[in-house]
Amino acid sequence: MTKGYIISFEGPDGAGKTTVLNKILPILQEKLAQPILTTREPGGVVISERIRDVILDINHTEMDAKTELLLYMAARRQHWIERVLPAVEAGQVVIMDRFIDSSVAYQGAGRGLDKSEISWLNAYATDHHKPDLTLYFDVPSELGLARIEANADREVNRLDLEKLDMHQRVRQGYLELAKDESERIMTVDASQDLETVVDATLGHILDHIGK
């Protein structure tokens, strides 16, 4: 049976990872023989999308950090068991817009929760699976927030409204992850022009999977 792959796209808010994913998808569909599934976290299936609405509602400012984390994990588990795992077992390439590293960066580095406990919860939710490849799109927090403000079509959620220092902590959390897991996590300078970022992203994916 053809091996399935999990590729996750990670980055702070405003990094442009979703835009890059939309750009590379038709190219990958031409170059790869395997079917490609794209999905997102939180979300991807009905139950997880409902949880997403609760987490990201801009009116839920009173949400506790641990409540936020556990909601993400509940959404992750349902998404994993219902959509991601069956696709991987069927030999598909699954490209995820956010996955386990987001919890370490946002709720760990950003909210100050215990990263070892987050890692345990990630393993519990995904049956100890990690992505085969993670693309981390790095962008200075100030530039990311400026992009969000300038993009009238982008969904603005509760996390987007956090203060600059929160976003800076999240970015630092991602940078530490990329350093600690450099064999899995490839860093892309997302402050560059879109064409350059797209080319770099395609290069990493094709090098990993093979043309």
Assign 211 a pLDDT band (cuts: 50, 70, 90): low
Which range is most confident: 27-36, 43-52, 139-148, 149-158? 43-52
When the pLDDT of each residue in the chain is averaged and rounded to a whole number, the result is 94
Neighbours of 94 (CB within 10 A): 25
Residues 6+ apart with CB under 8 A from 33: none
Strand 133-138 and strand 93-97: the pairing is: unpaired
Q: Is 6 helix (H, G, I), strand (E, B) or coil?
A: strand
- The residue behind tokens 């442009």 is 16
Report the pLDDT value the prediction gives residue 162, as an integer from 0 to 100: 81
Residues counted in the chain:
211
Residue type, 140: P
Residues 6+ apart with CB under 8 A from 78: 45, 47, 48, 51
| Homologous superfamily of the 5-209 domain (CATH) | P-loop containing nucleotide triphosphate hydrolases (3.40.50.300)
Query: Model pTM?
Result: 0.94
CA distance 139 to 26: 25
CA distance 41 to 30: 25
**For residue 207, is pLDDT > 80?**
yes
